[in-house]
């Protein structure tokens, strides 16, 4: 191992940049390289589904350019560059730049995957309207979507999960007419019990959002201006453009091709170490000790722990209870999903001001919770009682 070989981080999303910042707090000398398939702008991804109503442009969301980040981090940042191969024996990456496809090689001392996640594949939708269907999982996507929204009024949203409901809230608040379609019976059905999902649905409906639940889009046709969606229920919806928010899939292909163990995400232990002791992963791409979590809180905790491990103090990450604020401002909501595969049931109390749902096991232990409306005031009290994700 050559001392001058850098620590290389693939990805400049929140995971890559948080790790770089935490690492530099502890080590100002080791060469550091970040590689990004995009332009390396630092931005807060959660704001993408909560910025239309405030009139925030993509430029305003871009907190720092890649150049500014390179200066701040005393790092080299290679933008518009894709890592296409990892030779773990030689510790060499193959890089291909967007401009002219120039290939280069880069040696690393240690390597971190912070490659994020991509939008889940679309279900089979027939018709020629897909060119007016958008997805938002990056600042570039948001720019394209906002540009296409210009002078438009009616938006078809496919998916009523966490991100879909946030976009419905944001679009409605910004004055758009929103129709939401989801095959599930109520909004956020993968995260919330029915009472809480219906409570959010009602608040969004009062703001003009229309829901079509328990049905999917089977056809999307292009019309002279806009689109027409045909639902499996037989209903049709006309809109100007469509946005799909159908969940995320970790970017694991590069790691898998390099022979690194992959399950739902890139498999790591609590020290964020993959099946190769010299290669690490965090953020949306990582499955940390069995936990695949596509949220900011786990990645900031991972970044802190990994920075310590990389600078010589072995530090396992320990996820506690991690409540997530759903940015449906029309009905403030907090959800703390129970650990994947845990056995329990929802105990729900509801009144006109909000819903409190506790997910408890047979011994009465609190494993997760969901709060809407004024019940969100109980967030801290429930967080203190709730079982940690990692023992
Ligand atoms: P990403 O941001 O996806 O970054 C991945 C990086 O890897 C990119 O720079 C990409 O270019 C690069 N990359 C990938 N492959 C390669 C390659 N082969 N070569 C070079 N570069 C590569 N979480 C919350 O906790 N609260 C919220 O309210 C919330 N709201 C959200 C709203 C929206 C609309 C979305 C999309 C997500 C939201 N999330 C929220 C989730 C949160 O934003 C993500 O968990 C987090 O941003 C993931 O960061 P990341 O760095 O792991 O991945």
How would DSSP label each residue in 200-227? HHHHHHHTT-EEEES--EEEEEE-SSSE
The SS3 of residue 198 is helix
Ordered structural domains, the chain, with CATH: 7-118+248-310 (3.50.50.60), 121-244 (3.50.50.60), 332-385 (3.30.390.120)
Query: Which pLDDT does position 341 carry in this prediction?
Result: 86
Which residue, by CA, sits nearest to atom 27 of ligand 1? 46
Average pLDDT on 3-31 reads 96
Q: What percentage of the chain has pLDDT greater than the value 70?
A: 99
Q: Is the pLDDT of residue 346 over 70?
A: yes
Ligand 1 mutation target, pool 38, 45, 163, most atoms within 8 A of CB: 45
Q: 247 CA distance to ligand 1 centroid (A)?
A: 12
Cβ proximity of 181 and 218 under 8 Å: no
Rounded CA separation 322/318 (Å): 11
Among residues 353, 358, 146, 324, the alpha carbon closest in space to that of 243 is found at 146
Helix 14-26 / helix 66-73 crossing angle, nearest 10 deg: 20
CB 251 within 8 A of CB 112: no
Q: Whose CA is nearest to atom 33 of ligand 1?
A: 46
More confident residue, 131 or 199: 199
Structure tokens at 274: 């993959």
In this prediction, residue 235 carries a pLDDT of 96
Q: pLDDT tens-digit profile of 205-239?
A: 999 999 999 999 999 999 988 999 999 999 999 99
Sign of CA dihedral 164, 190, 322, 122: negative
pLDDT at 12 over 80: yes
Q: From the CA of 145, how far away is ligand 1's center (Å)?
A: 17
Cα–Cα distance for residue pair 273/310, rounded to 1 Å: 10
Ligand 1 mean position to 45 CA, how many Å? 7
Buried b (16+ CB within 10 A) or exposed e, 341-374: eeebebebebeeebbbbbbbeeeeebbbbbbbbe
Other beta carbons less than 10 A from residue 120's beta carbon: 14
Banded model confidence at residue 100, pLDDT cuts 50, 70, 90: confident
Give the residue-averaged pLDDT of 325-344: 95
Cα separation, 343 vs 336, whole angstroms: 15
Over residues 54-66, the mean pLDDT reads 95
* Banded pLDDT at 358 (limits 50, 70, 90): very high
Kindly indicate the confidence band of residue 50, based on its pLDDT and cuts at 50, 70 and 90.
very high
* Cβ of 30 less than 6 Å from ligand 1: no
Q: Are 48 and 37 in contact (CB under 8 A)?
A: no
Tell me the CB-side half-sphere exposure of residue 349, using CA atoms within 13 A. Answer: 6
Paired tokens of 383: 């967080």
Looking at per-residue pLDDT, the higher value among 99 and 111 belongs to 111
Range with the poorest average pLDDT among 202-206, 223-227, 305-309: 223-227
Asked whether the predicted pLDDT for residue 85 surpasses 70, the reply is yes
pLDDT for residue 314 is more than 60: yes
Beta partners for residue 169, in sequence order: none
Res 1 pLDDT > 60? no
Average pLDDT of the residues in 254-274: 98
ipTM: 0.99
Query: What is the model's pLDDT at position 2?
Result: 60
Closest CA to 284 of 120, 78, 160, 140: 120
pLDDT at residue number 391: 86
Residue identified by tokens 């889940």 is 120
User: What is the distance in A from the centroid of ligand 1 to the CA of 116?
Assistant: 5
Q: Judge if the beta carbon of residue 226 lies within 6 A of ligand 1.
A: no
Q: Can you state the percent helix, strand and coil of the chain, rounding each to 5? A: 25, 30, 45
Q: Say how far residue 302 (Cα) sits from the centre of its chain.
A: 15
For residues 48, 52, 58, 62, the Cα torsion angle rounded to the nearest 10 degrees is -60
Tell me how far apart the alpha carbons of residues 343 and 339 are, in angstroms, rounded to a whole number: 9
- How confident is the model at residue 101, as a pLDDT? 79
From the list 334, 324, 268, the residue with the least C-alpha distance to 296 is 324
Strands 177-182 and 248-250: unpaired
Distance between CA atoms of residues 21 and 4, nearest Å? 20
Q: Which residues contact 332 (CB under 8 A, 6 or more apart)?
A: 325, 326, 372, 373, 376
Cα 160 vs. chain centroid, distance in angstroms?
15
Q: Which residues pair with 348 in a beta bridge?
A: 357
Three-class SS of residue 170? Answer: helix
Ligand 1 atom closest to Cα of residue 48:
34
Cα(290)–Cα(14) distance, integer angstroms: 21
Residue 13 alpha carbon to ligand 1 centre in Å: 5
- The average pLDDT across 347-355 equals 96
Ligand 1 neighbourhood includes 41 CB (under 6 angstroms): no
What pLDDT sits at residue 58?
A: 94
> What is the model's pLDDT at position 4?
86
């Amino acid at each position: 191992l050559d001392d001058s070989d850098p620590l290389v981080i693939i990805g400049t999303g929140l995971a890559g940049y948080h790790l770089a910042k935490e690492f530099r707090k502890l080590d100002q000398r080791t060469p550091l390289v970040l590689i990004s398939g995009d332009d390396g702008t630092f931005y807060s991804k959660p704001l993408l589904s909560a910025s239309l109503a405030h009139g925030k442009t993509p430029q305003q969301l871009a907190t720092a350019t890649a150049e500014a980040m390179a200066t701040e981090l005393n790092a080299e940042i290679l933008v518009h560059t894709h890592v296409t191969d990892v030779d773990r024996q030689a510790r060499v990456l193959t890089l291909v730049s967007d401009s002219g496809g120039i290939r280069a090689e880069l040696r690393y001392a240690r390597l971190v995957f912070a490659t994020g996640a991509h939008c889940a594949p679309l279900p089979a939708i027939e018709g020629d309207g897909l060119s007016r269907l958008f997805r938002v999982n990056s600042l570039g996507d948001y720019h394209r979507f906002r540009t296409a929204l210009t002078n438009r009024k009616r938006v078809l949203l496919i998916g009523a999960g966490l991100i879909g409901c946030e976009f419905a809230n944001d679009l409605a608040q910004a004055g758009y007419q929103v129709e939401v379609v989801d095959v599930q019976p109520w909004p956020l059905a993968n995260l919330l019990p029915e009472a809480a999902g219906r409570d959010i649905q009602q608040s969004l409906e009062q703001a003009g959002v229309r829901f079509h639940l328990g049905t999917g889009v089977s056809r999307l046709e292009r019309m002279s201006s806009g689109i027409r969606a045909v639902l499996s229920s037989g209903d049709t919806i006309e809109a100007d453009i469509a946005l799909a928010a159908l969940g995320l899939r970790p970017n694991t292909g590069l790691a898998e091709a390099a022979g690194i163990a992959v399950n739902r995400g890139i498999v790591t232990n609590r020290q964020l170490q993959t099946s190769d002791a010299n290669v690490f992963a965090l953020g949306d791409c990582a499955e940390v000790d069995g936990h695949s979590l596509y949220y900011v809180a786990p990645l900031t905790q991972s970044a802190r722990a990994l920075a310590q491990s990389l600078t010589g103090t072995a530090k396992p990450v320990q996820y506690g209870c991690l409540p997530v604020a759903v940015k449906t401002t029309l009905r403030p909501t907090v959800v703390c999903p129970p650990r994947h595969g845990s056995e329990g049931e929802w105990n729900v109390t509801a009144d006109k001001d909000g819903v409190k749902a506790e997910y408890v096991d047979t011994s009465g232990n609190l494993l997760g919770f969901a709060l809407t409306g004024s019940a969100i005031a109980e967030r801290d009290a429930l967080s203190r009682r709730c079982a940690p994700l990692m023992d």
